[in-house]
Structure 1
Amino acid sequence: MSDSNLVLRPDLRAGLAVLAAMVVAGAGIVAAILAGDAPTVFAPIVGAVFTAMVVLLIATLLRARIVLTPHEIVVRGPFSRQHRPRSHVAEVVRATIIAPRGASGESLFLLDARRDLLLRVSGGGYKREDIDRLLDVLGAPCSGPARPIGAKEFAEAHPGLLSAAERHPYRFAFTFTFAVAAALAALVLISLAITR
């Protein structure tokens, strides 16, 4: 941190633990496919998916950061960069949104004077004390539920802040699962047609 900038980086220890778990899980699933009765065509597909997730996590750990300067707030992801004028942040809503199956993630919703969303900052990869420090230095009024909250309840209290996928997680999950299943079925049919 310099005299004028606050720079937050993801929690490296937690990130490395997740990375190790992903590598072990991916290798285990691929090994089970190859050792079991499942078509071997699934092994490289699963391997590619886990490899992509590992690369994304490594890129996030290396590149992601939140930077607060005297003039702007910058949120950099592995492949993106968003910035907004600091002077436009009039209010912050801090919430831990509960996703299906009990997963949750903390978010900061930076709002302008009209309560329109300027920027959403995902705090899930950062230490809680770092997020507290960011809010303290930012100095904008902060509100939000004191407990983790479901997406539907949060969207009713704060309309327009959550994406459609978060407001309707089961519809999104069903559509995504159907698309992946259709793609896998097409790959299996293509591989069967090639081997004949």
Structure 2
Amino acid sequence: MDVREDDLVLRPDFRAGSAILAAIAVAAAAIVAAILIGDAPTVFAPIVGGVFAVLFLFVLGSLLRARIVLTQHELVLRGPFSAQHKPRAHIAEVIRARITAPRGATNGNLFVLDESRSLLLRIPADAYRRGDLDLLVTTLDVPCSGPSSPINPKKFAETYPGILTKVEQHPYRLALATAAIIVTTLLAVLLVSLAAT
């Protein structure tokens, strides 16, 4: 995709991204140091370090490659590995919302909808500066609405049906299902090991 001078190009907020990178580095150093100092086998230190290194590189790649590009003809949401292209003529509405997650965290979102109120793009608003997203919404020149305060996924889905996935609407069900699978797997391994002895 060629970016011209008159295109609006928004990049992630590097200050917020730098804080995430610093947190990953500190967590990695603390956990690896605890492994090396403590009683855990030292073989875990490079494994944990490797996992954190991959996570660090992924976040860094996202900061460097991710962007939103608005041209005369399309809106492009570019991630670290792919890009979503949507015709600008199909954009009819934008919804801004902070969706609450378990434990009280909120995730900012910009939902870009077509004329039938179907989701075209979901932009992770927390990754970008608010002023940049204000400029995007103003430049799109379509109606913009949304709840004025953070909203839970179920209530958001009732107000704006068809935008959130079923998993997002019921996060506790997913957590319970995951926990049940882990417990069942551990019990199966325990029973097999007891039967083998």
TM over 0.5: yes
Q: 1:90 aligns with which of 84, 87, 92?
A: 92
Question: What residue is the counterpart of 1:19 in the other structure?
Answer: 21
Counterpart of 1:152, as a letter, is: K
Deviation at 1:53, TM superposition (A): 1.4
SS in 2 for 1:149: coil
Question: What residue is the counterpart of 1:194 in the other structure?
Answer: none
TM-score, length-scaled by structure 1: 0.84
Aligned-pair identity in percent equals 57
Q: Which is higher, the Rg of structure 1 or of structure 2?
A: 2
1:60 lines up with 2:62 in the alignment:
yes
1:136-174 C-alpha deviation (Å, 9 max, x unpaired): 001110111001111111112112211233222223334
Higher mean alpha-carbon deviation, 68-77 vs 49-58, is at 49-58
Counterpart-to-counterpart distance in 1, 2:176 and 2:21: 27
Deviation at 1:103, TM superposition (A): 1.8
Counterpart-to-counterpart distance in 2, 1:81 and 1:35: 44
Question: What residue is the counterpart of 2:53 in the other structure?
Answer: 51
1:107-139 C-alpha deviation (Å, 9 max, x unpaired): 111111111111111111100111111000011
* Structure 1: runs of 5+ lacking an equivalent: 190-196
SS in 2 for 1:109: strand
Counterpart-to-counterpart distance in 1, 2:57 and 2:167: 24
Counterpart-to-counterpart distance in 2, 1:180 and 1:69: 47
1:56-87 C-alpha deviation (Å, 9 max, x unpaired): 11001100000000100000001110010001
Q: 2:110 aligns with which of 101, 108, 111?
A: 108
Counterpart-to-counterpart distance in 2, 1:36 and 1:181: 27
After superposition, the CA RMSD in angstroms is 2.4
Counterpart of 2:120, as a letter, is: L
1:170 lines up with 2:143 in the alignment:
no
SS in 2 for 1:7: strand
TM-score, length-scaled by structure 2: 0.84
Counterpart-to-counterpart distance in 2, 1:172 and 1:39: 33
Deviation at 1:9, TM superposition (A): 0.2
